Chain A
Amino acid sequence: MTRFVVVFILLLGALFTVELLDPVQAAVVQPFTGWLADISAAILTLFDDQVRSAGRVISHAGNGFAVSIEAGCNGVEAAIVLIAGVVAFPSTLKSKVYAIILGFLAIQVMNILRIISLFYLGQWNLDLFTYTHLYVWPVLIMLDVLVVFLLYLRWVNRSSESATTALPA
């Protein structure tokens, strides 16, 4: 438990610091956020053909409403928390890689849901948009991370239990 906590905190600090570095922001985080905007806009276009995306901004050509996906809204921090947790917990490298890939996808699916919901909420009621954006969605995203991490721990525990049972007495 102590080992997990120490490794988790160290990894979290290291990954978070790396994420904030200008070259990492320019080469990874900003392009990724742009793709996220493109994907969200592509989904929104299925229901409304006036939705556009440019860089990190998603806008509505009809009413002029626009949202910009900023730091903290791209799911990268949530992914960092998951990665730190998965790497810190003792398991095989293969399990960790699977967990990080699937967990990252789960976070981003939830995050795209967040972006789409906020895009609609903002056009309807700005106060509700602010409240949901600042307080509710961060909690839901981290709850998603917790559930994904617990699923991973269950899977690791079941795998090690099966391996123990399979061993001759």
Chain B
Amino acid sequence: MKLWLEQRPLARFALAVLALLPICFVGWQLLGSVLAAPAVVASKLVLTSWLPQNIVQVSLQDTDMLVVSTFIPKESEDNLAYLINTRALSYSIPFYTALHLATRQENSLAVYAWNLLVLWVLLSLGLTATALKDMLVTEAESFLAVPLVPPADLIALAYQASALLVPTIAPIALWAYATRESELFSALLGIRPSVVKPAQRRDGFS
């Protein structure tokens, strides 16, 4: 079995990722709001600076982002509030962690930290897009009348992309960029060792 896997780097890598995913998901579940907090803080900065007249409060409630707006629905006296599930976007973190841990790299911790920072930025953009979409869906007329609010189609596209594409593509893109010159990456692409320059061959499996 060991020999079989040594001759099949792609199978070995995929199995390593599959084995690491449950552990990473448990860690993500346990860390909960700690992982969401930086993105919510960034999203709060964006939303309150962008729409200061319309956003009353942005805060973290467990793993949900609470956005309280100035919009008041007809026949009501209460401001509209939106509860956004940060986990629906932050699962990119355990996915990236599993890909990263399945690959041995130089400066592994620094690479992980930088890429985690990128994922947090994308997460905050995704949360912002989700908040805009929620306001659009519930109070379209008054929301679209606010200056600086983008067109409805653009909000819909930004939301769909951040919810459906970014959480799964970003981890792969960051992993591929970080490991692009590694021995593992060459092996995964089926490039024979002689084709790779010795200086480039510095990484491998963990």
Contact = CB atoms under 8 A, between A and B. Distances in A.
Interface of A: 1, 12, 16-17, 20, 71-72, 77-78, 81, 134-136, 138-139, 141-143, 146-147, 150-151, 153-155, 157-158, 161
B102 to A, nearest CB: 11
B91 A139 contact: yes
Give the interface centre of B91, B161, B190, B192 by most chain A CB atoms within 10 Å. B190
B91 A135 contact: yes
Nearest to B167: A138
- Chain B interface helix/strand/loop/mixed: helix
B190 A157 contact: yes
A147 B14 contact: yes
B168 A72 contact: no
B189 A77 contact: no
Complex A-B, nearest 3 residue pairs according to Cβ-Cβ distance, in ascending order: A154-B190, A142-B168, A135-B91
A20 B88 CA distance: 20
Given A16-B165, A147-B14, A161 B160 contact: no
- Chain A interface helix/strand/loop/mixed: helix
Contacts of A154: 10, 188-190
Given A150-B188, A150-B189, A138 B161 contact: no
Contacts of A146: 172
11 contacts: A12-B165, A16-B165, A81-B168, A135-B87, A135-B91, A138-B91, A139-B21, A139-B91, A142-B169, A147-B14, A153-B189
